[in-house]
A and B are shown apart, each in its own frame.
Chain A
Amino acid sequence: MSQVLPPSVTKLIDAFSRLPGVGSKTASRLTYYLLRAPEDVSLALSEALVELKTKTQYCEICHNITEDSPCPVCRDVRRDQTTIVVVEDPLDVVAVERTGSYRGVYHVLHGAISPVDGIGPDHLKLKELVERIEAKPVAEVIIATNPNMEGEATAMYVKQMVEPLGVKITRLARGLPSGGDLEYVDTVTLMRAFEGRGDMK
């Protein structure tokens, strides 16, 4: 195959196939699509790729990905700067923002504790969270790590680190998904849903 295809084509196929979830078939298909598409499609793509790495950085306060530090959320005076939602990844910030009902700020840990994979507390932005709370008064820390083993371990670790600072710590509720079906729910989720049941308003 290498003799048939020009090097500039195989180079792009190789680059695509290094992306997560992209195999060599998909990589070839994307490459041939770009070959046939108008030039501005590939130019826009290449420009976006360059800007992705050159223009972005971590926000010095919340460690989310941003073009200007501090990020727009941390600079926004209309947002409640004393409530911090702690999340694992930048995409989790997007998910919380989509609800449109949260008016506080964030702290991105960039991962979750996973002892088997060798990801310990030092690999996360935990020390930064403590320093941030020490530097500026915070009323509430809402822990929104994923509801799985790694996320729970991270949540407990955050709690132990933040607790001595005398801040209110809360954890997102676990329960039934909207549109779900009770008979298919696993026992752990159902138990948590019972524990976290609320008064009907």
Chain B
Amino acid sequence: MSSRGRVAKTRAIILRRSDLGEADRLVTLFTEDYGKIRAVAKGVRKPTAKAAGHVELYTLAEVVLSKGRDLYIITQVELLEPFLALQGDLHRIGYASLFAELVDRFAVDEMQIPEAFDLLVNGLNWLSEPGVDLRLVSRYYEMHILNAMGYAPTFFTCAIGGERLQPEDQFYSVIEGGVVCRDHAAGHVNMTALPLPVFKVLRHMMRSEWETIKVLTVGPLIHHDLQRILHNTIIFLLEKRLQSVDFLRRVTELEERNIDPGHPF
């Protein structure tokens, strides 16, 4: 959609918003057909705006876009899925915001990435499931968003030697972009030990559907390692901290303080 004035309809997830002018909003959308774009939602901050409730963060909407001089303009919008379960829970909001942050940082403007769009919609659905292991949803999403964006770490062959990896304790290297076998890891710096149970979960997550993964019970130690490996990989690629992860940490701290009121502020 390059020529000015053309109109197109597409499904989109709202990634971020900021106020613009008197009553407009500038929104970053991840659309099904045109990838990440920035668009203006005119007049939505007025209380009588019909479209106001349809342009909310981390919701799925159908938007009609027209190309303006510099930006797209949202001419019509219809909320398709509000993901209501996310709104009442600070942890879920934090994870939804992490999902959006990852797409926003990795996606190039106006490049269609259908796998990433489907993954984001699915990810928000999975987060909404009652009783789900939110950390597991997040790790699964992180791994597959890396895959969709073309940054998947290697889990089946050694990232240095290229030979098939055996199911045993291995090493992980952010710089090499994947798992490294013991022989090739020798003498290299920046290698993290990758115990077999963690290695197994990573491989399983890489090749299985979410329905198979969601029934897993993952212990706190393995969770800790999974998070460290995936987040270090992402931070290395983006060269930037993840704001939503900092927020999630704060929410957890606040909750722990409420459970243990003796803890000082």
Some 6 contacts from A to B, beta carbons below 8 A apart, are A115-B98, A116-B100, A153-B90, A156-B93, A160-B90, A188-B82
**A-binding segment of B31-39, B46-54, B189-197:** B46-54
| Contact of A149 with B258 in the complex, beta carbons under 8 Å | no
Question: What band does the interface of chain A fall in when counting residues whose beta carbon is under 8 Å from B?
Answer: 20 to 34
Main secondary structure of the interface of B (DSSP, over half): helix
Please give, as numbers and ranges, the residues of chain B lying within 8 Å of A118 by CB-CB distance.
243, 246
Please give, as numbers and ranges, the residues of chain B lying within 8 Å of A130 by CB-CB distance.
265
| Contact of A21 with B21 in the complex, beta carbons under 8 Å | yes
- Map CB proximity to A onto B73-96 as digits: 1 under 8 Å, 0 otherwise: 000000100101001111001100
Please give, as numbers and ranges, the residues of chain B lying within 8 Å of A186 by CB-CB distance.
52-54, 79
Q: Determine the distance from Cα of A122 to Cα of B98 in the docked complex, in whole angstroms.
A: 19
| CB of B209 within 8 Å of the partner chain | no
Question: What band does the interface of chain B fall in when counting residues whose beta carbon is under 8 Å from A?
Answer: 35 or more
| Contact of A115 with B54 in the complex, beta carbons under 8 Å | no
Please give, as numbers and ranges, the residues of chain A lying within 8 Å of B47 by CB-CB distance.
177
- Measuring CB to CB, which residues of chain A are less than 8 angstroms from any residue of chain B? 20-21, 113, 115-118, 120-122, 127, 130, 148-150, 152-153, 156-157, 160-161, 163-164, 177, 179-181, 184-189, 191
| B197 CB → nearest A CB, Å | 31
Quick one: which of A117, A118, A163, A186 has the most chain B CB within 10 A? Answer: A186
| Contact of B93 with A117 in the complex, beta carbons under 8 Å | no
- Measuring CB to CB, which residues of chain B are less than 8 angstroms from any residue of chain A? 15-16, 18, 20-22, 47-48, 50, 52-54, 56-58, 79, 82, 84, 87-90, 93-94, 97-98, 100-101, 104, 243-244, 246-248, 250-251, 254-255, 258, 261, 265
Please give, as numbers and ranges, the residues of chain A lying within 8 Å of B79 by CB-CB distance.
186-188
Q: Determine the distance from Cα of A35 to Cα of B21 in the docked complex, in whole angstroms.
A: 25
| B128 CB → nearest A CB, Å | 14
Q: Determine the distance from Cα of A127 to Cα of B248 in the docked complex, in whole angstroms.
A: 18
Please give, as numbers and ranges, the residues of chain B lying within 8 Å of A21 by CB-CB distance.
20-22
Q: Determine the distance from Cα of A177 to Cα of B93 in the docked complex, in whole angstroms.
A: 26
